[in-house]
Amino acid sequence: MTTDSKRPLTLRDVSEATGVSEMTVSRVLRNRGDVSEKTRTKVLSAAKELGYVPNKIAGALASNRVNLVAVIIPSLSNMVFPEVLTGINKVLENTELQPVVGVTDYQPEKEEKVLYEMLSWRPSGVIIAGLEHTDAARAMLSSAGIPVVEIMDTDGKPVDAMVGISHRRAGREMAKAILKAGYRHIGFMGTKMPLDHRARKRFEGFTEVLAKEGVEIEDREFYSGGSALAKGREMTQAMLARSPELDFLYYSNDMIGAGGLLYLQEQGVSVPGQIGLAGFNGVELLQGLPRQLATMDACRLEIGRKAAEIIAAQLEDPEAVIEKHVTLTPTISYGDTLKRR
């Protein structure tokens, strides 16, 4: 066992304890170069005995290599980004790379700051949510000299690579399905988030298709904060009180949609006959509700996975030819709240 000393141990300590040079100790600890089995075991056991923990700070400075991938996301609190992280982890686990995550709370200035902080650790790559950044952030990304993958959204021009879905198209597809099912009086509910560009793009795609058919959103409501399930319930109640003629409610996420669905069931409203519903995200969590909300999968796991693969591949071989624009295609699940025609 170790005695608790003030100063962390260094290579030198291990070197002195074994009589082996620092350099060879370093080689053993990193599995680099040829070392005789004898010294190898001697060093290894001494390092363990002493409780030596390598100093990556020094190692990174000397080797100019940092096996960190900066992952920058807007939020941890809605299940979509944790799932992306899971996908990233799955891939990076098989490499030397380690993800480090930063959270921006959907604020561009905070994103800029977080990015700056992370870049100052000289990571080997960056995965960052969205295509919209401040000019300064974009400049940092492009001059960092490392692979950058912008994820979630593909409606726009990336700094380097991008992996995601087209949210505009997602909105369009859902609008088509709704119109095809015969609904014509549509209400919309979503977050009060001018900075959630993906939600905005879905909305734009959605209204675009409606407009082509001469249909307009007849009522809308936005919320912020609080339990999404409860908000969906409240907003649905309020909207239907206000606009009883509506025959479809489009929610910008599954949680508020589920709240609406629960409310309508309690009221004995027939879904999808009297009113149809749809959300967005394909939240696994909601399986288990009495009825399944129509939704669209956002391919979160796959996005994380693919993004990590791009970073890993590019670091492995900087010359490799890699597909830098990956657009995944989400599928609609009709569930029990959207008529199928």
As a whole number of angstroms, the distance between CA 301 and CA 334 comes to 21
Which residue, 11 or 275, is less far from DNA as judged by CB? 11
Distance CA 128, CA 160 (A): 11
The residue assigned the tokens 């080797």 is: 63
- Residues near a copy of itself, by CB under 8 A: 1-8, 51, 53-58, 60-61, 66, 76-77, 79, 82-83, 85-86, 89, 98, 100-101, 103, 116-117, 119-122, 139-140, 142-145, 226-233, 255, 259, 262, 266, 284-290
Nearest to 339 by CA among 212, 213, 247, 202: 247
43: Cβ–Cβ under 8 A, 6 or more apart, which residues?
Answer: 14, 18, 20, 24, 25, 28, 29, 35
Q: Which of 5, 49, 65, 109 binds DNA (CB under 7 A)?
A: 65
Contact call for residue 207 and DNA (CB under 7 A): no
- What span, in angstroms and rounded, lies between the C-alpha atoms of 95 and 91? 7
d(CA 227, CA 192) in angstroms, rounded, equals 14
Angle between helices 11-18 and 22-30 (to 10 degrees): 110
In whole angstroms, the minimum distance from the beta carbon of 93 to a copy of itself comes to 10
Span from 19-27, 269-277, 279-287, 315-323 in contact with DNA (CB under 7 A): 19-27
Contact pick of 27, 133, 201, 306 for DNA (by CB under 7 A): 27
| From DNA, a copy of itself, none, interface partner of 231 (C-beta below 5 to 8 A by class) | a copy of itself
In order, the DSSP letters of 113-165 are HHHHHHHTT--SEEEEE-S---HHHHHHHHHS-S-EEEEEE-SS--SSEEEEE
Nearest distance, CB of residue 49 and DNA, angstroms: 16
Q: Does 17 bind DNA (CB under 7 A)?
A: no
34 interacts with, out of a copy of itself, DNA, none, CB within 5 to 8 A per kind:
DNA
Q: Where does this chain bind DNA (CB under 7 A)?
A: 7-8, 10-12, 19-24, 26-27, 29-30, 32-36, 38-40, 54-55, 58-59, 61-65
